[in-house]
């Protein structure tokens, strides 16, 4: 197996038998259901996609002259282009034409002229358009080159330092709000056995239509996702990686109104995983569906280029819907996420598709049902790492019961070959976990994986038994739902509350005013360059 890949079900014999006809039917329907949304995403652009183009080209920093929170330069420039000529043709031609005509030495010089009110944008034609296109392409190519170099650096560090010695990778969250407090906590977690550190994002950042600048120290239930925070944490984890002799991965969140920009910053600062789900922002943050799908396609193309593993958010559906009655909606979402990801160039090894241990523990046979659902995901997506999420909905505050539930969750992960295991906390739903809580949680994971990690070769539920039958039942229900979605349309299904029982119409929600239908001659050199080289590459 190549360095950096996660253990998959194909590394051992088949554990349960799925109806192959249903598997083929499910994938065919997912492709049909996703096709109209993919067409919509190709035909539109957004303010955040256009800002990401400028970030790739090297425009950083914020306007220091304002009293409204230091608005990033990329916002200033894109808003000016939008006001003067519109965004239907993209920012590349107007911006690089203005650079040439105004004699601006850099994008920063142009941005300062925007604030001063002296920059003028127009849509160039003929030779002027060709000149602007070529200049914009060179700038985008330089940014993508930095992402390519970061990917090569990751591969080199993994070859030198090595990957974690076991699967699944142990994934642990830090969330103090202060990047300078997050760093020692993250390093301590790595020393205690964490393989992946996730810096959870500050509450509400997904609803900001700009990315804050600089190192931040005052997040709420998390730390702001900024380029400087990414740089600081990646450097800290590189330091502890060399100390431990294994590469420690870094995760953040590419979601919300600035999804394309945050994905770009992740590539520029060598993050390794990003939360990136097809419908999470729509369902749980009321972000407009059109905005989400357009932004998502660009962000996933960046992730494919950067060799970043995405983590999807199907576990969130089960916090509002029933984990048994609505288990098939998770499977449908996984199949749609896979389809959108493949179209954007992501390979199977980059698909950390989400699912969760959220069945009510008081339900008879709850553990067997969890095994069935986990094995269904593992066998449907044998080459994907999968991200297995701990119990949250039924954590009551009884820390002893919670610790036991987390142990059962860890056991399912070990038995079913999950690729990424998010560490559960016995104080979930009580307080933001302390370092001591994380240490106890990691002890739970280590005990289960050390004591039972090899059970994957012994665990073979009987053919036609409870677990196999339940997995096929959920698969059949998923096919039925996909048939309805294909007939009615995915956007209508989202509007009807199919996923997570939350209704989100396509003509409502935050960010719709930042979506634009592309005009003939639309030019986005970053998209053109990435589309020319679509396809996730295996780590070397």
Helix, strand or coil, per DSSP, at residue 231 = helix
Please, what sign has the CA dihedral across residues 100, 105, 109, 113? negative
* Candidates 155, 317, 387, 406; catalytic one: 387
Tracing tokens 């992730």 back to the chain, one arrives at: 303
* Candidates 315, 326, 348, 437; catalytic one: 315
Q: How many residues would you count in the chain?
A: 540
Residue 63: count other Cβ atoms within 10 Å of its Cβ. 18
Nearest to 224 by CA among 287, 277, 177, 172: 177
Q: Does residue 79 carry a catalytic annotation?
A: no
Round to whole Å and give the CA distance between 202 and 206. 8
Q: Please tell me what DSSP assigns to residue 304.
A: H
Q: How far is CA 534 from CA 48, 345, 434, 506, in A?
A: 21, 5, 42, 28
Task: Supply 3's token pair.
Answer: 């360095």
Q: How far is CA 380 from CA 24, 141, 324, 375, in A?
A: 10, 37, 18, 8
Residue 322: count other Cβ atoms within 10 Å of its Cβ. 16
* Candidates 280, 317, 403, 522; catalytic one: 280
Task: Supply 490's token pair.
Answer: 């995915």
Backbone angles phi, psi at 47, to 5 degrees: -60, -35
Contact 304, 148 (CB under 8 A): no
Q: Does residue 387 carry a catalytic annotation?
A: yes
Q: Does residue 280 carry a catalytic annotation?
A: yes
Round to whole Å and give the CA distance between 307 and 533. 13
Burial code (b: 16+ CB inside 10 Å, e: under 16) for 346-373 equals: bbbbbbbbbbbbbbebeeeebbebbbbb
Round to whole Å and give the CA distance between 76 and 80. 6
Round to whole Å and give the CA distance between 502 and 463. 37
Nearest to 256 by CA among 281, 278, 227: 281
Q: Give the helix ranges, DSSP H, for 307-433.
A: 317-320, 327-343, 366-380, 399-416
Half-sphere exposure (Cβ direction) of 456: Cα atoms closer than 13 Å: 27
Round to whole Å and give the CA distance between 284 and 399. 27
Q: How far is CA 3 from CA 6, 38, 197, 231, 386, in A?
A: 9, 32, 19, 24, 17
Contact 377, 410 (CB under 8 A): no
Q: Please tell me what DSSP assigns to residue 69.
A: S
Catalytic residues: 280, 315, 387
């Amino acid at each position: 197996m190549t360095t950096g890949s996660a253990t998959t079900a194909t590394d051992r014999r088949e554990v349960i038998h799925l109806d192959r006809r249903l598997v083929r039917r499910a994938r065919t329907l997912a492709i049909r259901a996703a096709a109209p949304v993919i067409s919509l995403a190709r035909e539109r652009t957004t303010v955040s996609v256009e800002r990401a183009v400028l970030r790739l080209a090297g425009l950083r920093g914020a306007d220091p002259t304002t009293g409204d929170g230091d608005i990033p330069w990329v916002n200033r420039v894109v808003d000016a282009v939008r006001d003067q000529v519109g965004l239907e043709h993209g920012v590349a031609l107007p911006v690089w034409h203005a650079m040439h005509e105004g004699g601006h030495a850099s994008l920063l010089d142009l941005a300062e002229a925007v604030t001063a009110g002296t920059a003028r944008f127009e849509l160039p034609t003929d030779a002027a358009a060709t000149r602007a296109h070529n200049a914009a392409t060179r700038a985008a190519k330089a940014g993508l080159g930095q992402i390519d170099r970061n990917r090569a650096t990751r591969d080199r560090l993994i070859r030198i330092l090595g990957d974690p010695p076991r699967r699944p990778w142990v994934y642990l969250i830090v969330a103090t709000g202060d990047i300078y407090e997050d760093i020692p906590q993250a390093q301590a977690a790595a020393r205690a056995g964490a393989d992946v550190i996730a810096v959870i994002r500050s509450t509400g950042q997904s609803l900001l239509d700009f990315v804050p600048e600089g190192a931040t120290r005052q997040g709420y239930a998390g730390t702001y996702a900024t380029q400087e925070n990414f740089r600081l944490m990646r450097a800290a984890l590189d330091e502890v990686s060399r100390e431990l002799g294994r590469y420690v991965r870094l995760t953040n969140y590419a979601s919300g109104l600035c999804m394309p920009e945050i994905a770009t910053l992740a590539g520029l600062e060598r993050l390794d995983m990003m939360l990136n789900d097809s419908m999470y922002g729509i369902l749980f943050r009321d972000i407009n569906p059109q905005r989400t799908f357009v932004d998502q396609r660009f962000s996933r193309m960046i992730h494919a280029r950067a060799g970043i593993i995405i983590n999807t958010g199907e576990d969130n559906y089960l916090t509002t819907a029933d984990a048994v009655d609505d288990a098939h909606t998770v499977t449908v979402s996984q199949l749609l996420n896979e389809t959108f990801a493949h179209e954007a160039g992501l390979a199977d090894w980059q698909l950390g598709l989400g699912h969760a241990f959220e069945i009510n523990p008081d339900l008879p046979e709850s553990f067997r049902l969890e095994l069935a659902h986990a094995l269904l995901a593992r066998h449907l997506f044998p080459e994907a790492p999968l991200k297995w999420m701990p119990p949250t909905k039924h954590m009551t505050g009884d820390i002893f019961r919670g610790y036991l539930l987390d142990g059962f969750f860890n056991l399912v992960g070990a038995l079913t070959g999950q690729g990424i295991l998010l560490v559960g906390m016995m104080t979930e739903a009580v307080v933001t976990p302390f370092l001591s809580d994380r240490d106890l949680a990691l002890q739970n994971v280590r005990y289960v994986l050390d004591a039972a990690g090899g059970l994957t070769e012994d665990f073979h539920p009987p053919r036609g038994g409870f677990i196999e039958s339940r997995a096929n039942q959920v698969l059949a229900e998923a096919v039925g739902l996909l048939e309805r979605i294909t007939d009615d349309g995915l956007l209508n299904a989202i509007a009807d509350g199919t996923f997570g029982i939350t209704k989100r119409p396509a003509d409502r929600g935050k960010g719709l005013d930042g979506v634009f239908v592309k005009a003939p001659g639309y030019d986005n050199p970053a998209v053109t360059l990435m589309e020319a080289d679509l396809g996730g590459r295996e780590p070397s």
